[in-house]
Structure 1
Amino acid sequence: MEAGGREEEERYEYLIISGADELKEGGGGKLRSSITSAPCETPGLELICSRLDLASSGVEQQQPPVHPRLLPGRGGKSVNMSADVSVSLSVLVGIIVLSEATRRCVTRALADTGLCVYAVELVSTFQLCCCTHELKLLSEVGGIEPRLALTFTYLASVVHALTFSGAIGNPSGTLEHAYHARLSSGCALRRIACQFAAAAAARAAVPVLWSMGWSGLHVRHKLLGFQCISPIHAPLHEAAAVESACAFAVQTAITHTRSMEEKYRVHAVAAVITTAVYTGGKVTGAVFNPALAFSTQFPCRGSSFLDYSLVYWLGPLLGMMSSVLLFDKLVPALMRKSSTLHLPLDVKKET
């Protein structure tokens, strides 16, 4: 099929899915007149074309049933959404279980080598990216309530933290570890390479999973060609500032909770992540992870690679660096200066 015809068909499929309410309100003529009749030859869409033609002509008739996976009606919307959420949750659980099993296998197989940490980094970042793809689909295409989406974000953050087995899953966090000499520079670079490799693998694997059509949500997304729109809804400098602020908040939370017990720390950090997603989600999607953004945001249409790089790579890196420099350099210097000012005069002369 020619490129123009394919774009016309994809546009038509989008109108069919997103324009169900307009059809019920008598807007079928507007929809039908905005496209050609060629896409109606697509198998499974003839019935919907006839409904659009009838709506445009004003003929009253009893609407024949359409498969809910193609055109969910208002009456079954909550039922279909519940089914979609249930399937997506099952997918998330399956990804986490398979990833955990893989982590344990590679840990045993590579225990006597130096490759274990890199294998765990690969698997854990793959888990993070795949789960985020599914949650992003639920939120953007499935249209679940924001409160439910934030709840899933919180729970996913807790589960990832508990199952990562020492993996970092974030290039910015890896650089922070290297800065504090917890990792060598070579180890940090290899971990970052693993993170981006896993992000690319998840980016390629998730459409294959969705193409199986396990839920109506997956089927609708497949009809749209697995396309997504750029989540950047602000000028680039503002979007980069939002990503930087989110990364700053999360890095600060990670830094100041290191002394807490792990069972409490994961919930504290997850709460900060969820708050950051709630605050910046409408502007950039609030990813604040360069590898995760490469997997979930870079394939979306509407912005260039350079735009995405500035927002999702440079922004989080600046946010992480700002947090580290603030609490490692600036705050200790201010505290030393403040303590010096409060010393007795004779002590100041001696110092």
Structure 2
Amino acid sequence: MSADVAVSLAVLVGVVALSDVIRRPLCGLLAGTSMRAYAAELVSTFQLCCCTHELQLLSEVGVVPAGVSLTLTYLAAVTHGLTFRGATGNPIGTLAHAYRARISGVSALLRIACQFAAARAARAAVQVIWGRGLSGLHARHALSGFRCASAIRAPLHAAACVELACAFAVQTAVTHARGLRDRYRVHATAAVITSVVCAGGSVTGAVFNPALAFSTLFGCTGSSTAEYCVVYWVGPLLARFCHSSCRNGVLCADLRQSVSSVTIGRHEEEVRHQQHVTGRAQTTRRRQLYVTFFPPVDCNLKKVMAISGHFIRYKSCQKAVQNYSAGVPKLCPLRATD
């Protein structure tokens, strides 16, 4: 590993550590107040933009291979997900929270203002770090006046569509990974971000974050500010609109299916109840008819059995008399006492 890469990795670790040292006590001090969210957005967006500046410098100059650059992107995404403490660092994510009524419109605008302020501060901070000349890469970049080139390498409409697709993929992944545990959700989201950067990085840089684009790309030569706004602001906004529309459509379909299931269930329950009532009525009617044609006899069981016994003995004696008359005497089972 070259000295330039080692210095860049040290800068990344230092930025993350410094941001976390500032964020933890600041969020703890402002806990329970609305200022905590603004402080978290400031520090987290600053961390995100500084790390992206350093990674972009490494990848553009070509000091590291593409595979190593993607690995660093994945590790940076995991680190951001574990340290942001509820902050989004993305105006599109903040607008999504406002759309779902999780935060108010005023709060969303204040958070977006904090994100863009942190993005501008991060750009100034990395220029100060690069101006120190900690590595040959930093010194050469400082001598060039921190010059950067546009990442748009396609027609305007195609570039906007690429950013739209990248933002839509990431927002969908974040939505579906929300129910996972934090340790799984962070890695799943980081994997999707890395895949999107690999797919669209050669066309637009795959930024899909207006504040991050404002910090890293606005002012670079090769494209105008209006083109940057169309690609990196309008594209993610349209992705947010498409994602919300699709999600609402799915929710409406699920709601209709649930209502239909409840209606069908109630109808089936009513039919079963009606069949049960009809069956009971038919059973009652059969009992009434049986009682009408076969009325019950109120008698003693012992008397019935005694009468049956006498009848049986009588029939036996009668048969014995008939046999005696025929010349074959038989013993009569009926005693004299009977």
TM-score (norm 2): 0.75
Question: Which residue identity lines up with residue 168 of structure 1 in the other structure?
Answer: T
Separation in 1 of the partners of 2:251 and 2:13? 44
Query: Could you give the per-residue CA deviations for residues 322-343 of structure 1, whole angstroms, max 9, x where no partner exists?
Result: 112102x2223445667869x9
1:107 is displaced (CA, Å) by 1.9
State the match for 2:3 in structure 1.
83
More deviation, 136-145/309-318: 136-145
| 1:120 aligned to which of 31, 40, 46 | 40
State the match for 2:301 in structure 1.
none
Matched, 1:100 2:26: no
Matched, 1:332 2:267: no
Asked if 1 retains the 8 angstrom alpha-carbon contact of 2:41 and 2:88, the reply is: yes
Q: Is there any run of 5+ residues in structure 1 with no aligned partner, and where? A: 1-78
| 1:148 aligned to which of 58, 65, 68 | 68
| 1:171 aligned to which of 91, 94, 101 | 91
Separation in 2 of the partners of 1:228 and 1:273? 23
Separation in 2 of the partners of 1:104 and 1:110? 10
State the match for 2:178 in structure 1.
258
State the match for 2:287 in structure 1.
none
Separation in 1 of the partners of 2:33 and 2:253? 45
Separation in 2 of the partners of 1:245 and 1:338? 29
Asked if 1 retains the 8 angstrom alpha-carbon contact of 2:5 and 2:63, the reply is: no
- SS of 1:282's equivalent in the other structure is coil
Separation in 2 of the partners of 1:98 and 1:335? 46
Identity %: 61
Asked if 2 retains the 8 angstrom alpha-carbon contact of 1:200 and 1:295, the reply is: yes
Separation in 2 of the partners of 1:98 and 1:222? 23
1:110 is displaced (CA, Å) by 2.7
Asked if 2 retains the 8 angstrom alpha-carbon contact of 1:174 and 1:192, the reply is: yes
Separation in 1 of the partners of 2:137 and 2:224? 27
Separation in 1 of the partners of 2:73 and 2:99? 29
Asked if 1 retains the 8 angstrom alpha-carbon contact of 2:209 and 2:236, the reply is: yes
Matched, 1:210 2:116: no
- SS of 1:284's equivalent in the other structure is coil
Query: Could you give the per-residue CA deviations for residues 11-47 of structure 1, whole angstroms, max 9, x where no partner exists?
Result: xxxxxxxxxxxxxxxxxxxxxxxxxxxxxxxxxxxxx
Q: Is there any run of 5+ residues in structure 2 with no aligned partner, and where? A: 271-338
TM-score (norm 1): 0.72
Question: Which residue identity lines up with residue 237 of structure 1 in the other structure?
Answer: H
